[in-house]
């Protein structure tokens, strides 16, 4: 897939997207990511892209025309229309499932707002969906766009060494990830669980699944109401709760 980012701060986006796993994947040709400076599309001689809001208010609003021209430029490059996402605190909260949904689009355009936001008319004209990365307000949409780009990109073929690199991670399977350990086997008198040193693959898989269940119940019990639990998972949760003298029912069950 191809991801385009429309922003006022290309350098900020490129600084992140040129590093680490995403940067290596871009250089290797596994990722096709382009950052566009909205100022390059304004007809204003001073390269202004904002103006005072109608009706009076504090701050400035990004004008519709430069954003639309940037959108048209992307359309010409890809020979079609991308799926346009506007990063906004008013949008649907971004989750792992959202990343998987976005992966189904061949072309994704992320629009970064700034100042007091963007002219509502361009949202109505080109935006397919508004997305928020959390219930708080940032100075611009760039950080949100980077979060979305990273989460979607790492699901693309060739970015990670194997699918297992993300399939066992927190949220991908509906549960939090199990604890991780590395050398040395003993650190500050704390030992690595013996099962991880046993070499018994089936036991390790079972231990990791059980730890994911326990950790999710401890830290994010709300996730258990929607996680795809097997009958064996449910039996384990009940058994472990009874052993501790707790209510064996997962949160949300009667």
pLDDT at 29 over 70: yes
| 212: Cβ contacts below 8 Å, ≥ 6 apart | 173, 175, 176, 177, 178
Distance of CA 191 to the CA centre of its chain: 33
- How much is the pLDDT for 161? 78
pLDDT at 45 over 50: yes
- How much is the pLDDT for 182? 94
pLDDT in tens, 51-107: 999 998 889 999 999 999 999 999 999 999 999 999 999 999 999 999 999 999 999
Predicted TM-score (pTM) of this structure: 0.86
What is the end-to-end Cα distance of the chain in Å, rounded? Answer: 44
- How much is the pLDDT for 58? 86
CB atoms within 10 A of CB 137: 7
Mean pLDDT of 13-20: 98
β partners of residue 6: 36, 111
Share of the chain above pLDDT 70, in %: 93
Site of tokens 């897939």: 1
- How much is the pLDDT for 246? 82
CATH for 2-153, among 3.40.50.300, 3.30.1490.20, 3.40.1280.10, 3.40.920.10? 3.40.1280.10
pLDDT at 213 over 90: yes
Average pLDDT, the chain: 93
- The one-character DSSP state at 176 is P
pLDDT in tens, 140-195: 999 999 999 999 999 999 999 766 554 555 566 789 999 999 999 999 999 999 99
- How much is the pLDDT for 252? 43
Name which of 123, 115, 124 is nearest 142 in CA terms: 115
* Concatenated DSSP letters of 127-174: -SEEEESSSS--SBSHHHHHHHHHHHHTTSTTTSS-THHHHTSTTTTS
Cα angle for residues 35, 40, 42 (degrees, 5° grid): 130
Q: What are phi and psi of 4, to 5 degrees?
A: -115, 145
83-93, strands of its sheet edge to edge: 32-37, 2-7, 107-112, 83-93, 129-132
Residue 176 and residue 219 in contact, taking contact as beta carbons nearer than 8 Å: yes
CATH number for the domain running over 168-254: 1.10.1270.20
Q: In whole angstroms, what is the distance from residue 87 CA to residue 130 CA?
A: 6
Strands 61-62 and 186-187: unpaired
Q: 123: which 2 tokens?
A: 């949202």
Domain boundaries, the chain: 2-153, 168-254
């Amino acid at each position: 897939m191809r991801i385009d980012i429309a922003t006022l701060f290309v350098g900020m986006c490129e600084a992140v997207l040129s590093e680490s796993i995403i940067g290596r994947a871009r250089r290797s040709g596994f990722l096709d990511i382009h950052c566009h400076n909205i100022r390059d599309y304004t007809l204003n001689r001073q390269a202004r892209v904002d103006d005072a809001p109608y009706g009076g208010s504090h701050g400035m609003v990004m004008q519709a025309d430069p954003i639309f021209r940037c959108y048209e430029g992307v359309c010409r490059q890809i020979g079609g229309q991308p799926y346009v996402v506007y990063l906004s605190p008013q949008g649907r909260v971004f989750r792992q499932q959202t990343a998987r949904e976005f992966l189904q689009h061949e072309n994704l355009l992320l629009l970064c707002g700034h100042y007091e936001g963007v002219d509502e008319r361009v949202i109505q004209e080109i935006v397919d969906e508004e997305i928020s990365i959390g219930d708080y307000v940032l100075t611009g949409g760039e950080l949100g766009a980077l979060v979305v780009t990273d989460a979607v990109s790492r699901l693309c073929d060739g970015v990670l060494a194997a699918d297992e690199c993300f399939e066992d991670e927190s949220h991908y399977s509906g549960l939090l990830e199990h604890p991780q350990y590395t050398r040395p086997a003993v650190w500050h008198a704390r030992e690595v669980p013996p099962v991880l040193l046993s070499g018994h693959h089936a036991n390790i898989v079972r231990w990791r699944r059980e730890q994911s269940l326990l950790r999710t119940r401890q830290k994010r019990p709300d996730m258990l109401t929607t996680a795809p639990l097997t009958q064996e998972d449910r039996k384990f949760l009940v058994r472990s709760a009874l052993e501790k003298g707790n209510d064996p029912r997962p949160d949300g069950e009667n």
